[in-house]
Amino acid sequence: MPTKRLTEELRTELKRPIGLLLVEKDKTTTKHLRKILEEQNLGKTIIVGDYTAKRILKDGLIADIYIIDNRIMRRPISPVNLELEKTIHVTNPAGMITEEAWRAVEKAIQSEKRTKLVIHGEEDLLALPAILSSPIGSLVLYGQPKKGLVVVEVTEKKKIEISRIIDRMEED
């Protein structure tokens, strides 16, 4: 997979959730999220973003893969305290999906070990290769800035939708 760059048109489009939005201010969000993770997860659980990772951990929930960049809303934060079996460091500039980052996401998903991907750059777009690389029935969770948490159930239909988005990105 060659390095892909986000276009302005796609940047606007991707500001909308690509899955179920759980509104942060809703008091039932934690209960709803717990139910989804316990009842609907047939594959891997992948967390994209430091805020989402902190949110999941605060609720006492766990995931198979955490993709973080030690930033929230582009501001540096103290690293999320995750003691996992495997850590992978990879570079991925803002607005891009590098070939190296894509391969790291695939490697983490294929691993039997709980894995942390530490991204030097920005992790936002890595939800896309996470969806495409995950087994059907997996869940990919990411933050929707100032709104809440997005839960994407990986289905064939969702993979087709994400493939079309990736195809519209510019090759770098």
By CB atoms closer than 10 A (0-12, 13-18, 19+), residue 62 is: middle
CA dihedral angle for residue 35, residue 39, residue 41, residue 45, rounded to 10 degrees: 30
Whole-model pTM above 0.85? yes
pLDDT of residue 151: 96
pLDDT of residue 120: 96
pLDDT digits (tens, 9 = 90+) for 25-78: 777 888 888 888 888 767 999 999 999 999 889 888 889 999 999 998 888 898
d(CA 30, CA 52): 12
pLDDT of residue 37: 85
Give, in order, the Cα–Cα distances in Å from 66 to each of 22, 99, 167.
Answer: 19, 19, 25
Nearest to 146 by CA among 77, 79, 73: 73
With 70 as the cut, is the pLDDT of residue 105 above it? yes
pLDDT of residue 6: 96
With 70 as the cut, is the pLDDT of residue 97 above it? yes
pLDDT of residue 172: 84
pLDDT digits (tens, 9 = 90+) for 117-154: 999 999 999 999 999 999 999 999 999 988 999 999 99
d(CA 67, CA 51): 11
pLDDT of residue 41: 65
Lowest mean pLDDT among 12-26, 84-98, 100-114, 131-145: 12-26
pLDDT of residue 28: 81
Section 77-94 average pLDDT: 92
